[in-house]
Amino acid sequence: MANSFGCQILAEFALRYPQRIDRLVFQGPTVDATARTFWRQFGRLMINGRREPVSLGWISLQDYVAAGLRRAWATLKIVLEDKIEEKLPYIQAPTLVVRGSNDPVAPQRWVEEVTRLLPHGNLQIIPGAAHTLNYSAPEEFVRVIQPFLRL
């Protein structure tokens, strides 16, 4: 299970170690292939910041400070250069794609494309939620993923 950039990492892991994967959950997968620039992503994150709890902003800020500017910038370059859409057709594990209906970072068109590219993809939308469902809408997120994960 992964959120945002974590979906890119999980996709890579699933390709390298398919025997270790039973099923995947991509929550708010990035990066939308039509918005693979710093400014497009920055703008979407600013919009999303107004839709998430204020407490998440403080947590994110602390994470960026702890990482340092050099590391944060290097990670951002990786995020923007990684083309998850090229990997998705090769992921054989059943994959649930989850999106908040108010997520500007992973727009509806993009998550539909992600789901279509996955050989065994399914899409679930959580009404009224933004990008970071695991933080801002955890009960709804668990409700959606529990049956898929067979918990």
Query: Mean pLDDT over residues 27-51, rounded?
Result: 90
Amino acid at 25: V
Q: What percent of the chain has pLDDT over 70?
A: 100
3-state secondary structure (DSSP) of residue 137: coil
For residue 76, what pLDDT band results from cuts at 50, 70 and 90? confident
Give the mean pLDDT of 38-67.
82
pLDDT tens per residue, range 79-137: 899 999 999 999 999 999 999 999 999 999 999 999 999 999 999 999 999 999 988 89
CATH code for the part of the protein at 2-149: 3.40.50.1820
Q: Which of 19-28, 71-80, 111-120 has the lowest mean pLDDT?
A: 71-80
Report whether pLDDT(61) > 90: no
Place of tokens 């668990």: 142
In whole angstroms, what is the distance from residue 7 CA to residue 118 CA?
13
Q: Is the predicted pLDDT of residue 60 greater than 80, yes or no?
A: no
DSSP assignments along 8-73, one per residue: HHHHHHHHH-GGG-S-EEEES----GGG-SHHHHHHHHHHHHTTS-HHHHHHHHHHHHHH-HHHHH
